[in-house]
Amino acid sequence: GLVVIAIGFLKTARAKASGEFVRPAAVTLFGIFAMTDAAANFLGWSLDLWAHDTRLVQWGLTGWGRLADAAYYLDYNSLWAGGSAAAGEKSWEVFCILGVFPARMVAAYGFIKLKRWGYRWMIITSWAYVMLWLGYIVNMVVNFPARFGSSVFGVTGWWVFDIWYMTPFLTLPWLYALDRRRWSRL
């Protein structure tokens, strides 16, 4: 992935040097990051929600659970819905898979294309990510001893892996500082 991004930045630099209009590098960087983050989370939680019985998913998610979040390790696939047995986890997965993550990917695409609706939806989905982060933290604190006391890296492991959920706290001030007139109305 980094090679493709590097090639894209090289082509952008060449276009800028030849005098063509190019979007700001920060717009590209934030847009690509938002799209990649939403796609990765969409994939991970979709696997837990819909493919939790496959051996590969059981191996991967229980390994992740043993290392950082024991909700994916202890009693995995013990509920009727399968997957993580943590209280409230499935509701967050459904909310994010069917709502937040697809909207974020589409918003990032429109944002990269410098569409006004993409800019607006980046702000909306960033606020949705803030609400998601706050609610998910509360959800995790409810069964804190079981989730983090039973994993190898505990809270530290979760922060290292899930620090990306905090990106809206960095993205929102930047988005509000942008001049929205640079984005086309179409």
Tens of pLDDT, residue by residue over 39-89, are 999 999 999 999 999 999 999 999 988 998 888 888 898 888 888 888 788
Residue 55 lies in a domain: yes
Residue 167: pLDDT band with limits 50, 70, 90:
confident
**What digits encode the pLDDT tens for the residues 19-36?**
998 888 889 889 989 999
∠ CA 167-169-170 to the nearest 5 degrees?
Answer: 70
What is the predicted pLDDT for the residue at 186? 66
Structural domain including 62 reads 26-182
Domain membership of residue 3 (yes or no) is no
Tell whether 103 is covered by a domain.
yes
Please check whether residue 18 lies inside any domain of the structure.
Answer: no
DSSP-derived 3-state class of residue 3: helix
Number of C-beta neighbours around residue 21 at 10 A: 7
Calculate the CA 66 to chain-centre distance. 21
Domains identified in the chain, total number: 1
Would 167 be classed as within a structural domain? yes
The residue to which tokens 């969409």 are assigned: 42
Q: Is residue 12 part of a domain?
A: no
